Structure 1
Amino acid sequence: MNAESFDAIVLGAGAAGMMCAATAGARGKRVLLADHADEPGKKILISGGGRCNFTNIHTAADRYLSGNPHFAKSALGRYTPQDFLGLVERYGIAWHEKTLGQLFCDGSARQIVDMLVEECAQAGVTIELGRAATEIEHRDGLFMVSIGGRDYTAPALVLATGGPSIPKLGATGFAYDIARRFGLSVVHPRPALVPFTLGGDEALFRSLSGVSAEVEVCWQKVRFREAALFTHRGLSGPAMLQISSYWQHRTPIGVNFLPDAGPDWLIRQKQAQPRSTLKRALAARLPARLADALAERLALEGDLGNIADKALRAAEARLTDWSFTPSGTEGFAKAEVTAGGISVDGLSSRTMMAARVPGLYAIGEAVDVTGWLGGYNFQWAWASGRAAGEAI
């Protein structure tokens, strides 16, 4: 076989793959970065409404889901949000902080892609786009990869092709297939950071499509306070996307529609304005359409002054823990990321290399490490890509 040789072959020209390739190349390694897509960083380009929420200053390992909650600590500790921000600033990319530590480009997400492509160019990385890897073998300490009909070899192979979320961008479970072929286990992948669907009696809330309100949502012991958005299919918005990563099918989620209301607020409202109604009391705190829908469900007619305190307290209790049982989610098509993936039990937390297959690495979304909404998954991509790139 007349194959071209490299020190490392990185499959996947997304956030993690480009970071890994640039890091290894800058260390003098000869790196091939390949992707079946016709341009790099497609997921970066659509992120953050086209402005790329490229990291979060509050990054910590406890804001990631994984089969091993400690796995992400090493990589995240060695490549921090401040490290990536330093790179962004070296390229003169203007940025701003939004709520909850989220950092965005002032301009376009394309600035981040162009920065990473330039980093790869300066590091001498060879990039092959628009060609799929069709055959992968491993023997005599070398990985042999066929890409677009051409053969390449390298002692290191990096799986950076992500998960199956947002298939319209070409996302697949390719990394899982390769991992299984080499004896690595895969935690069942599922959609994460994804809107919920509602059915049955709860479908009534579909009439609220487009209404948004700040709520506290909980599932078991996990809680998030952010905006929730009603859609024609169910529930979305940051609060719902966050809790979706933890949610398990056929289990309820609880929503506190009034996280700032103190105990007995309805009793106090009754005392202050006995001729007010529940609908009016709710409309003072919530969007009118949502207030109407909740009041209709609670079915407390007439003036507050004529409603028993016990009934008002029962209404308060339901408003602060309104139970929804989603019928499902909108699936990988609308999921921002994939939860699950290549099990971290078989990987080194320091280098991201597979213990059973020396030279095989897995990084980014392909791995069973899933961050919260708000730049955490990009920071994992940068940190895990950097860890592998320094180890190759």
Structure 2
Amino acid sequence: MSDSFDAIILGAGAAGLMCAARAGQLGKRVLVLEKAEKPGKKILISGGGRCNFTNIGAGPANYLSGNPHFAKSALARYTPRDFLALIESYDIAWHEKTLGQLFCDGSSKQIVEMLLEECAQSRKVGGDVEVRCNAEVTAVEHEDGRFAVMANGQIVTAPALVIATGGPSIPKMGATGFAYDLARQFGLKVVEPRPALVPLTLGGEELLFREISGVSAPVVASAGKASFPEAALFTHRGLSGPSILQISSYWKPGEEVGIDFLPQSSGDWLLDRKRETPRATLRSVLREALPDRLADILAEKLGIDTELGNASDKALRAAQERLKRWTFRPSGTEGFAKAEVTVGGISTAELSSKTMEAKKVPGLFAIGEAVDVTGWLGGYNFQWAWASGVAAGEAL
């Protein structure tokens, strides 16, 4: 038994469903194959169940890629405002959190239901989108300008095939490196994938910080040239929290991570305090700005246990400098199991930035997280999914 379609999309996640809806509404007959038991599983768990569906400020500068210009075209043609207009056309209530992050007031289910309804709308214009779940793809072949996909023992064919199966982050959700295997099968280069937006682990002397597991504080975390001012969280394994997840995408094994524990302080603030309140201790001063347990452990590590008036200016200056850039050398990350997304993927050099089509294999497309384009934490990866999905959907 063989079915013929205009396009076959592998993966019913954010990018795959967006691509299917756009192609269907342009009159295409589309089949979406999803190996999970239901579509949009990652959407459903995102944002604590409320889906951080975009970031109002999303632009090319918020993405990591081997080619920093690649994402410009798709992001410019389908913007956060475009997705917001779609949300509002379905009367989905939303709110903005910090740093431009947009969430549903209700549930992530509303986003999945909206995307499925967008797919269903294609029938009004002569298109059709069929979503088949529990579809295990076992073989993909390409011959005479058509792709043949074997799924659950049945062969389906189409002149266009879209890889939208994401990366290997969150394997408990069924994520795998299938997209990369398929890309390599067709001769496309893959940028070595690694976990991103992931907690960092600490070892050695830094294990002392495990004693304050659960404590968080607003900091500026940095790795290489990247820095992010948000909260850091100490865990029983190392470091997490928004600022750490952000810089994890930039951090490379062996490198240091810098933490500014007092981003609001400047100049010789500690010497000023010495003159103002000479009987104060470093511990008590730090407790004014930081959680008590964190203040205590930092004061202990700095080794200043006398009153400020009895501490030398040199020692206080050294403490100031260290608190502005306290360095950790992570032993690693918590891996793909805890990573929200993947850095790396199908090389952008292989794809058209306008259509997401493979340059060497006409009819083959790659979108979303499968591609070497990775957004910051805060709705950016969803915006890339929508934008790249629309770009491919319009080109099918």
Q: Same fold (TM over 0.5)?
A: yes
Cα deviation for residue 380 of structure 1 reads 0.1
Cα deviation for residue 357 of structure 1 reads 0.2
* Other-structure match for 1:48: 47
* Other-structure match for 2:103: 104
Task: Report the secondary structure of 1:280's partner residue.
Answer: helix
| Deviation digits for residues 308-355 of structure 1 (CA, Å, limit 9, x no counterpart) | 111101000000000000000000000000110000000000000000
Cα deviation for residue 62 of structure 1 reads 1.1
Report sequence identity in percent: 68
Cα deviation for residue 86 of structure 1 reads 0.4
* Other-structure match for 2:270: 266
* Other-structure match for 1:62: 61
Alpha-carbon distance in structure 1 between the residues aligned to 2:173 and 2:304: 49
* Other-structure match for 1:188: 192
Task: Report the secondary structure of 2:228's partner residue.
Answer: strand
* Other-structure match for 1:286: 290
| Deviation digits for residues 34-74 of structure 1 (CA, Å, limit 9, x no counterpart) | 11000000000111111000000111101100000000000
User: Which residue of 166, 170, 177 corresponds with 2:170?
Assistant: 166
| Deviation digits for residues 269-316 of structure 1 (CA, Å, limit 9, x no counterpart) | 111111000000000010000000000000112110111111101000
Task: Report the secondary structure of 2:74's partner residue.
Answer: helix
Alpha-carbon distance in structure 1 between the residues aligned to 2:314 and 2:101: 43
User: Which residue of 110, 128, 132 corresponds with 1:128?
Assistant: 132
1:304 aligns with 2:311: no
Which structure 2 residues correspond to residues 1-392 of structure 1 after superposition, within 5 A? 2-123=1-122, 124-392=128-396
Alpha-carbon distance in structure 2 between the residues aligned to 1:274 and 1:127: 70
| Deviation digits for residues 96-116 of structure 1 (CA, Å, limit 9, x no counterpart) | 000000000001111101111
AA at the equivalent of 1:76: L
Cα deviation for residue 358 of structure 1 reads 0.0
What is the TM-score when the length of structure 2 is the normalising length? 0.98
AA at the equivalent of 1:346: E
Alpha-carbon distance in structure 1 between the residues aligned to 2:183 and 2:86: 31
AA at the equivalent of 1:85: L
AA at the equivalent of 1:51: R
AA at the equivalent of 1:261: S
Aligned length: 391
Cα deviation for residue 120 of structure 1 reads 1.1
Alpha-carbon distance in structure 1 between the residues aligned to 2:244 and 2:52: 18
AA at the equivalent of 1:4: D
Alpha-carbon distance in structure 2 between the residues aligned to 1:139 and 1:308: 78
Alpha-carbon distance in structure 2 between the residues aligned to 1:132 and 1:386: 25
Task: Report the secondary structure of 2:73's partner residue.
Answer: helix
CA contact (8 A) 2:368 2:385 kept: yes
CA RMSD of aligned residues (A): 0.6
CA contact (8 A) 2:224 2:250 kept: no
AA at the equivalent of 1:322: W
Alpha-carbon distance in structure 2 between the residues aligned to 1:190 and 1:301: 42
Task: Report the secondary structure of 2:245's partner residue.
Answer: helix
Cα deviation for residue 149 of structure 1 reads 1.1
Which 5+ residue runs of structure 1 have no aligned equivalent? none
Alpha-carbon distance in structure 1 between the residues aligned to 2:120 and 2:296: 58
Cα deviation for residue 122 of structure 1 reads 1.7
What is the TM-score when the length of structure 1 is the normalising length? 0.99
| Deviation digits for residues 240-268 of structure 1 (CA, Å, limit 9, x no counterpart) | 00000000001101100000011111111
AA at the equivalent of 2:84: L
Deviates more, 1:211-220 or 1:6-15: 211-220
| Deviation digits for residues 355-384 of structure 1 (CA, Å, limit 9, x no counterpart) | 000000000000000000000000000000
Alpha-carbon distance in structure 2 between the residues aligned to 1:12 and 1:131: 10
